[in-house]
C-alpha cells in the first residue's frame, strides 16, 4: 500500500487524525467527504481543476536547478518554484480545489480562518474567481499586524471579521470560523487552509496539494534522470510539505519537514485533540494550547497536520527545526546567489539545507519546495536586520 494513501474509515492516519466535531457539524463534514470522494473520482472535476491551475494559477510551476546556491552549499540543490504561482504561494492549489467543491455542494459562500492573512487572501481570490461570497476570520492582533493583507482581502470583495476571543490570533480564528460555520451550513463551505482540522480536511487539502509533489517528481526525473535523495519542505500546518511528500512517499527519498524552533509541534509538542483532530500540539502543563513563536507568521500554527504526526511516528519523514537567525541568513543567501527572495516560511527549508550540508553525500541531490515568495516579508526582514524600510 502507498504510504500517503487514503486515511482509514474514521479518517485516521495511524493513531492521528479523526473527526472530533460538535454534533451539528457532523452532517456537513460527512457530506463534504462524500462529495470530495465523488468529485476526485470524476474525470470532469479533475479536468476543470487542472485547467484552472494551468490557465489561472500558472501551473506547472518550474523546477529550477539552483546552480550558484549548489556551489555555495556544496551539494546539488533544486527548487520547486511555488513562489511563481498566482498569489505567490502554493495556497492557490488548495483554494481552487475547495472553491470547486463548494460549487459542487451548491454552496454560495466561503468561510475561512487566517493567521498572517495569506490563506485569507487566497480564499478571497478563489471566491472572486468563482463569484462566491467570502468571510474571513482573523484574530484582532493579526488584523493589526497584517493590515496590508486585510486590505487585499477587502479589495477582493471579502469581509474580514476580527476575532477578539482568547489570544486573538490564529487558533482563536479557527475556533470562531468553526462556530460560525454551524450557523450557516446551508449556504457556506468552510475552506480550511492547511492539512488540519477534522476528517476529511487533512486528506482533501493534501490531495489538492499533491500536484506540487507529482509535478516535481516528474520534472526531476526528466531533468536529472533519477529521483532526488532528499526532499525538504517547511511545515506550518503542513500543506506544502504534505503535497510535496505525496509525490515522493513511495520513492527512497529522505523526507524532511522543517519547523520553526518556536513552533516545533512535532519536535516539542504533545499529543492532543484540538481543532477537530488528534495530532501534536504545543501545550502548557495544563494542556492549554500555547502560542507558537516564529519570525514567519505563516508558520506560527501551534499544531501540525495529523498525517505529519503519523509520518514522524512511523519514521517515513523526519522533522527538524531551525531558528529565526538562520532563516534570515537563508533569505540573504538565496537572494544573493540566485536572485530569488523567498518567503520567510520557505527560507526555513533552505536554512536547514544550508546548516545540514555536511550530511549530503557526493552525488546526492536535494529538492526543496520554495513554498512562496518573500515580497510580503520585506518589512519584517528589514526590521529584523535593523534596517528601515
Ligand X SMILES: *Cc1c(COP(=O)(O)O)cnc(C)c1O
Contact set with ligand X (CB under 6 A): 89, 91, 118, 194, 234-240, 298-299, 343, 345-346, 371-372
Nearer to ligand X among residue 207 and residue 345 (C-beta)? 345
Main-chain dihedrals φ then ψ at residue 355, nearest 5 degrees: -70, -35
Residue 117: all three cell numbers together: 492573512
Helix, strand or coil for residue 289? strand
| 229 CB neighbour count, 10 Å cutoff | 18
Report the candidate in 185, 182, 25, 42 with the shortest Cα–Cα distance to residue 102.
185
> Whole-angstrom Cα distance, residue 306 to residue 166?
24
Does the annotation mark 91 as catalytic?
yes
Residue with Cβ nearer ligand X (17 or 236): 236
The single residue of 194, 294, 321, 371 carrying the catalytic annotation is 371
Query: d(Cα 298, Cα 120) in Å, to the nearest integer?
Result: 11
Q: Is 268 a catalytic residue?
A: no
What's the rounded Cα separation, in Å, for the pair 184 and 5?
A: 32
Q: Which single residue brings its beta carbon nearest to ligand X?
A: 372
Give min distance, CB of 20 to ligand X, in A: 20
Our CB check for ligand X shows the closer of 211 and 299 to be 299
C-alpha cell at 4: 500517503
As measured in angstroms, the least distance from the Cβ of 234 to ligand X is 5
The distance of closest approach from Cβ of residue 375 to ligand X in the complex, given in angstroms and rounded to an integer, is: 11
C-beta of 60 vs 236, nearer to ligand X? 236
Q: CB 339 → ligand X: shortest distance, Å?
A: 18
Q: Pick the catalytic residue: 91, 107, 171, 376?
A: 91
Strand order in 270-274's β-sheet? 12-13, 16-17, 277-281, 270-274
The verdict on whether 371 is a catalytic residue reads yes
Q: How far is the CB of 111 from ligand X (least distance, A)?
A: 18
Which residue among the candidates 113, 207, 320, 356 is catalytic per the annotation? 113
Cα separation, 194 vs 132, in Å, equals 20
Active site members: 91, 113, 371
Amino acid at each position: 500500500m502507498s504510504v500517503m494513501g487514503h486515511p482509514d474509515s474514521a479518517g485516521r492516519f495511524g493513531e492521528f487524525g479523526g473527526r472530533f466535531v460538535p454534533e451539528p457539524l457532523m452532517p456537513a463534514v460527512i457530506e463534504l467527504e462524500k462529495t470530495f470522494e465523488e468529485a476526485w473520482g470524476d474525470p470532469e472535476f479533475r479536468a476543470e481543476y487542472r485547467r484552472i491551475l494551468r490557465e489561472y494559477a500558472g501551473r506547472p510551476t518550474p523546477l529550477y536547478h539552483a546552480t550558484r546556491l549548489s556551489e555555495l552549499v556544496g551539494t546539488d540543490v533544486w527548487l520547486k518554484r511555488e513562489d511563481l504561482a498566482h498569489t505567490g504561494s502554493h495556497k492557490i492549489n488548495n483554494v481552487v480545489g475547495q472553491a470547486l467543491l463548494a460549487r459542487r455542494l451548491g454552496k454560495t459562500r466561503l468561510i475561512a480562518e487566517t493567521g498572517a492573512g495569506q490563506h485569507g487572501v487566497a480564499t478571497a481570490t478563489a471566491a472572486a474567481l468563482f463569484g462566491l461570497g467570502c468571510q474571513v476570520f482573523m484574530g484582532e492582533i493579526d488584523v493589526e499586524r497584517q493590515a496590508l493583507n486585510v486590505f487585499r482581502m477587502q479589495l477582493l470583495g471579502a469581509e474580514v471579521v476580527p476575532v477578539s476571543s482568547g489570544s486573538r490570533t490564529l487558533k482563536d480564528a479557527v475556533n470562531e470560523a468553526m462556530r460560525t460555520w454551524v450557523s450557516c451550513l446551508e449556504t457556506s463551505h468552510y475552506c480550511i487552509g492547511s492539512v488540519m482540522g477534522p476528517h476529511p480536511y487533512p486528506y482533501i487539502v493534501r490531495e489538492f496539494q499533491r500536484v506540487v509533489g507529482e509535478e516535481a517528481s516528474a520534472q526531476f526525473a526528466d531533468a536529472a534522470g533519477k529521483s532526488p535523495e532528499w526532499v525538504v519542505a517547511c511545515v506550518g500546518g503542513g500543506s506544502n510539505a504534505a503535497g510535496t511528500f505525496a509525490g515522493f512517499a513511495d520513492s527512497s527519498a529522505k523526507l524532511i519537514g522543517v519547523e520553526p524552533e518556536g513552533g516545533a509541534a512535532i519536535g516539542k509538542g504533545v499529543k492532543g485533540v484540538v481543532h477537530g483532530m488528534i495530532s501534536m500540539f504545543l501545550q502548557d502543563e495544563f494542556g492549554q494550547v500555547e502560542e507558537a513563536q516564529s519570525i514567519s507568521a505563516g508558520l506560527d500554527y501551534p499544531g501540525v497536520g495529523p498525517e505529519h504526526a503519523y509520518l514522524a511516528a512511523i519514521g517515513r519523514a523526519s522533522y527538524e527545526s531551525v531558528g529565526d537567525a538562520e532563516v534570515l541568513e537563508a533569505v540573504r543567501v538565496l537572494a544573493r546567489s540566485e536572485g530569488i527572495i523567498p518567503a520567510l516560511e520557505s527560507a526555513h527549508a533552505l536554512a536547514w539545507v544550508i546548516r545540514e550540508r555536511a550530511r549530503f553525500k557526493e552525488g546526492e541531490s536535494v529538492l526543496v519546495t520554495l513554498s512562496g515568495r518573500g515580497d510580503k516579508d520585506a518589512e519584517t526582514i528589514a526590521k529584523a536586520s535593523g534596517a528601515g524600510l
